[in-house]
Chain A
């Protein structure tokens, strides 16, 4: 606390003790890394990839845009975060950072990222990034999250847009390939977060967030996870079937798709006790690995293709 003790408590200036790492935590670095990775895949799908510096600056702008969304989400959700074990140590509920500071930080970064992307790449990509931030903050965080158990189904669009933004940054347009990458992440999001919701249903219940297990029950959630996994597995193979990924990608996506369905089937079957929790945990972890592997293969083979062109 300040030594300005001669002032009355209510008029004493609040002098922040927040460190740069607290501000960095507001950006949700783990989500940001996934956004960068998927946007890179979209960017590399362009027929003529941009100059490396333009590509780097575009990805940086997209990453900062994602970080701004995270900061604005933490500002709005500070009350809910304080009630959940998973989030109560975030900078605002932990008292290390004022909500107003997070709001200002998020708004400045959002504006900076959109205008930077407009300058370094093009204004279509910038508009798409602005829409992504708007969708995550206003449509998902402020509206859907506390209103409907379909929150992450619709809200997942925000997390699925980065490959399209990356492709748009490189080309100024969107194509079928970038839409397919959007569809893969969009379909991947619900089973990923519902497996987490199965593990944290008490947390979500305490905070009053209507996740599917709390509203429709755990059995219905397990069925939905399996249905989405069954839809995702063939969708994951689509980049190869449509001709913008190699046979190697096809093999990886088929193998990972079969494994994903098997893990989801285990979640559906195991309904009681520690075995059920272990199955949900395995689904949560494997879904991350699934998406990572698919996009890793895309990134590696597109990079090899670019080097072959040079």
Chain B
């Protein structure tokens, strides 16, 4: 999956350079802040997934194992 995305990115850059243009190149500051934002979003989503899972378990209580098989 990651390899496919990297390949797609490389192809886009190749296509851009075919027109004599570099494509969008991030400055170091832009890349750094984007990475930090991505990490923050990832951590937040992971935390929310765990929280919602745990809250659901608590709300169901013992009934969570009381189901027909």
Q: Which residues on A are within 8 Å of B, measured CB to CB? A: 1-4, 6, 13, 15-20, 23, 51, 53-54, 57, 60, 119-120
Report whether A18 and B59 are in contact in the complex, using a CB–CB cutoff of 8 Å.
Answer: no
| Interface contact A19-B37, CB-CB below 8 Å | yes
Are the CB atoms of A3 and B27 closer together than 8 Å?
Answer: yes
Interface SS of chain B: helix
Min CB–CB distance A287 → chain B (angstroms): 34
Q: How far is the CA of A6 from the CA of B25 in the complex (A)?
A: 11
Question: Given A19-B36, A19-B37, A20-B37, do A53 and B55 touch, yes or no (CB 8 Å)?
Answer: yes
Q: Evaluate contact between A3 and B25: CB separation under 8 angstroms.
A: yes
Contacts of B51 in A (CB 8 A): 57, 60
Residues of A within 8 A of B33 (CB): 16-19
Residues of B within 8 A of A (CB): 21-27, 29-30, 33-34, 36-37, 39-40, 51-52, 54-55, 58-59
Give every chain B residue within 8 A of A2 (Cβ-Cβ).
24-27, 30
**4 closest A-B pairs by CB:** A20-B40, A3-B25, A17-B33, A15-B30
Contact indicator A54/B55 (Cβ below 8 Å) = yes
Besides the known contacts A2-B24, A3-B24, A54-B55, 17 further A-B residue pairs in the complex with CB atoms under 8 A apart: A2-B26, A2-B30, A4-B23, A6-B22, A13-B24, A15-B34, A16-B30, A16-B33, A19-B36, A19-B37, A20-B36, A23-B37, A23-B40, A53-B58, A57-B51, A60-B51, A120-B59
Closest to A58 in B: B55
Nearest Cβ in chain A — how far from B6, in angstroms?
A: 20
Q: Which residue of A lies closest to B51 (CB)?
A: A57
Partner of B29, one of A17, A51, A53: A17
Partner of A119 from the list B22, B23, B55 (CB cut-off 8 Å) is B55
A2 CA / B25 CA spacing, docked (Å): 7
Residues of A within 8 A of B55 (CB): 53-54, 57, 119-120
Q: List 12 A-B contacts (CB under 8 A).
A: A3-B24, A4-B22, A4-B23, A15-B24, A15-B30, A16-B34, A16-B37, A17-B33, A18-B33, A19-B37, A53-B54, A54-B59
On chain B, the residues within 8 Å of A17 by CB distance are 29-30, 33
CB distance from A279 to the nearest CB of B (A): 43
Report the Cα distance A13→B58, complex, angstroms: 46
Q: What CA separation (Å) do A54 and B58 show in the bound complex?
A: 8
**How far is it, in angstroms, between the C-alpha of A122 and the C-alpha of B21 when the chains are bound?**
55
Please state if B26 and A15 are interface contacts (CB–CB under 8 Å).
yes
The answer for the CA separation of A177 and B33 in the assembled complex, in Å, is 46
CA separation between A79 and B29, bound complex, in Å?
26
B44 — nearest CB in chain A belongs to which residue? Answer: A20
Interchain nearest-CB distance for B46 vs A (Å):
15
Choose one: B25, B34, B59; the contact of A4 (CB below 8 Å). Answer: B25
Report the nearest B residue to A15, measured CB to CB.
B30
**Chain B neighbourhood of A54, CB < 8 A:** 55, 58-59
> How far apart are the CA atoms of A17 and B22 in the complex, in Å?
21
Q: What residue in chain A is nearest B57 (Cβ atoms)?
A: A53
Residue on A nearest B30 in the bound complex, by CB: A15
Distance from A100 Cβ to chain B, minimum over Cβ atoms (Å): 15
> Which residues in A have their C-beta under 8 angstroms from that of B25?
2-4
Distance in Å: Cβ of A247 to nearest Cβ of chain B:
36
The distance in angstroms between the C-alpha atoms of A154 and B29, with both chains bound, is: 43
Which residues from chain A contact B26 at a C-beta distance below 8 Å? 2-3, 15
Tell me whether A6 and B21 are in contact (CB under 8 A). Answer: yes
How far is A17 from B31 in the complex, measured between Cα atoms in Å? Answer: 8
Residues in chain A near residue B24, CB distance under 8 A = 2-4, 13, 15
Chain B residues near A16 (CB, 8 Å)? Answer: 30, 33-34, 37
